[in-house]
Amino acid sequence: MDGFNGLLGRRRSCRRFAGGEIGADDVRLILEAALLSPTSRSKRAWHFTVVDDALLLAQLADAKDTGAQFLKGAAVAVVVAADATADDCWIEDCSIAAWSMQLQAEALGLGSCWAQIRGRGLSDGTAAADVVRGVLGLPPELGVLCVVGFGRKAGGDDGTPRGGDGLKWENVHINGF
């Protein structure tokens, strides 16, 4: 498998990172992938906040009860948000941008994982988005979709590409359900 299908087949969510920094050129390419992503009506209402400070990464990891602890080991994370008052398709636009960044990371040989923020929170009722806004000083009109962590892969994945027999073709319907 090579090309785009190979890239899709190789990509896995990476929740364990090997440590070490990610070069500025690689971070720039990851951000460029987000900025090149399509948006509804070309609104481009998204905002990307890059975090490489270990203390801030730890605070972001604790923004919700489960599913974000891997951020503590990431070299860098990108908070994906958008002005929810400016674009009713902000969730879709941010999702495309986040996925574009993850594909770019895989193409660079880096690991990534998405931590869902929108609609998640802490057991005391605090919204994860409010925690993220507080940690980073984001304005209240920004809807926070996710935080994507990036880093060098720690291993544990055998690297076997997905595809072939494992695809759920039974979920594909043509001209109706």
Q: What's the average model confidence in pLDDT over 31-37?
A: 97
The owner of tokens 């990036």 is 150
Q: List Cβ neighbours of 117 (8 Å cut-off, separation of 6 or more).
A: 63, 64, 79, 128, 129, 132, 144, 145, 146, 147
pLDDT digits 0-9 by tens, 15-31: 999 988 999 999 999 99
Q: Please state, in angstroms and rounded to a whole number, the distance separating the CA atoms of residues 139 and 129.
A: 11
Q: Please, are residues 156 and 14 in contact by the beta-carbon 8 Å criterion?
A: no
- Size of the chain in residues: 177
- pLDDT higher at 26 or 163: 26
Whole-number mean pLDDT of the chain?
92
Q: Please, are residues 154 and 78 in contact by the beta-carbon 8 Å criterion?
A: no
